[in-house]
Structure 1
Amino acid sequence: MPTSSPVRRPRRDARENRAGILAAAADEIARDPHASLDVIARAAGLSRRALYGHFDDRDALVSEVLVAGAARFNAIAARVSDTDPRRALARLTAGLWQEASHVRASAAIALDETHVGGTAAALAPLRHRIAEIVDHGQASGVLRTDIPGPELAELIEYTGRSIVARMGAHPEATAEVAVKAVLGIAGLSWRETVALLAELPEAGE
């Protein structure tokens, strides 16, 4: 008689367990950036030993969580399609802020000086998008040209990272703060920024 194909449930369980660990880690790190492996394992409904079957140590787990977060930031950058560089910067900054506001602690870890080096490659698409916006803005004369493009793009990124990394200390802050800071670095006056935000109220929420 024909035999049935073997059930490959264990492999699927392994994938589901890994996904569950990553989801639990993202949630727990968002609550407490120092969340232990024991806490994360319990949140995932697994033992610490089972967690070690997927990740060698806490650093490996945190690194994967941060890379996944970087992918979400990159996706936001890819969706920004405004032809006006000023609007593009405002929308990009607001979008990143809003994403980070849902996972404040883990976003701060991903973007702080200690960990950003580890996520540099993962954030390459975001950096490329910022550079594109700056190049377009300088060429069209709407962004400052007294600073070379690569340096200006780096300053814009650093400003955004610094604000997101510190927003946990100011939970009442809104995206408007970040947008104003980034556009100020990009060369807009505060009056120009206020006028732009009036046209894009969603960027200040």
Structure 2
Amino acid sequence: MNAQRRRADATENRARIVEAARELVADGGEVMLNAVAKKAGVGQGTLYRHFPTRDDLFAEVYRQDVEELVDAAPALVAEYDPLSALSAWFDRLVAYARVKRGVLAAVEAGVRRDLADHSHGPIGDAVTTLLEAGKADGTIRSDVDARDVVLLVGYLSRLDDGEWDGRARRLLDVVLDGLRRGA
């Protein structure tokens, strides 16, 4: 096997490991690394070559989720009217928040703080992109900013697992309604 193919295989294995960990974290409960390796279809040695520690793996899951959430904002603004873009972004936020809860529960306190500290700025910037589009077309209240929205949606971390599916998106709809101009 040539070096280029080995690199491609390694990249594919890494992506499968991260996706398997994301899925298991989103399902709730404690995530064992051997379960991640099995779900990804790799051996534990392969998992540990890519992610020497549990914290390394879950930090990568978290970083990728933040990146995808942040990158979605300008793409959604380009594709949809501002309120629809914000609503679609909130759909992604629900999925992100569910994974975030599991990741933050699985990592050490120092890693948890570091991940949270590094995500606030980019997520705030994404919210600003969405709000500014709505303010520009007159559909979003002019008196709100990204910090207001981040504080309001922070309640997602307070939901119990049993009420997540029935309540998370509905509560974000309440926030969305409150952001509308004239609300």
2:98 and 2:29 mapped to 1: Cα distance?
Answer: 6
Question: What secondary structure is seen at the aligned counterpart in 2 of 1:56?
Answer: coil
Q: How does 1:1-205 map to 2 (within 5 A)?
A: 7-8=2-3, 9-81=5-77, 88=82, 91-92=85-86, 94-102=87-95, 105-109=98-102, 115=112, 117-122=114-119, 124-132=121-129, 137=135, 143=141, 145=143, 152-163=145-156, 166=159, 168-170=161-163, 171-173=165-167, 175-184=169-178, 186=179, 192=183
Contact 1:100–1:107 under 8 Å retained in 2: no
The TM-score with structure 2 as length reference comes to: 0.71
Corresponding residue pairs, total: 174
Contact 2:62–2:99 under 8 Å retained in 1: yes
Q: Name which of structure 1's ranges 123-132 and 21-30 shifts more when overlaid on structure 2.
A: 123-132
**Gaps spanning 5+ residues in structure 2: where?**
none
Question: What secondary structure is seen at the aligned counterpart in 2 of 1:173?
Answer: helix
Contact 1:21–1:44 under 8 Å retained in 2: yes
2:181 and 2:31 mapped to 1: Cα distance?
Answer: 40
**Gaps spanning 5+ residues in structure 1: where?**
1-5, 193-205
Q: Name which of structure 1's ranges 173-182 and 27-36 shifts more when overlaid on structure 2.
A: 173-182
User: Sequence identity, in percent?
Assistant: 19
Match of 1:201 in 2: none
Distance change (3 Å), C-alpha of 1:28 and 1:129:
closer
Question: What secondary structure is seen at the aligned counterpart in 2 of 1:121?
Answer: helix
Distance change (3 Å), C-alpha of 1:111 and 1:178:
farther
2:83 and 2:113 mapped to 1: Cα distance?
Answer: 21
Distance change (3 Å), C-alpha of 1:117 and 1:109:
farther
Distance change (3 Å), C-alpha of 1:111 and 1:154:
farther
Contact 1:97–1:164 under 8 Å retained in 2: no
1:179 and 1:90 mapped to 2: Cα distance?
Answer: 11
Contact 2:128–2:146 under 8 Å retained in 1: yes
Distance change (3 Å), C-alpha of 1:68 and 1:38:
same
Distance change (3 Å), C-alpha of 1:48 and 1:142:
closer
Contact 2:131–2:140 under 8 Å retained in 1: no
1:45 and 1:141 mapped to 2: Cα distance?
Answer: 47
> Aligned letter for 1:177?
L
Distance change (3 Å), C-alpha of 1:174 and 1:161:
closer
> Aligned letter for 1:158?
L
Rg (Cα) greater in structure: 1
Higher helix share: 2
2:68 and 2:44 mapped to 1: Cα distance?
Answer: 28
C-alpha displacement of 1:75: 2.6
The TM-score with structure 1 as length reference comes to: 0.64
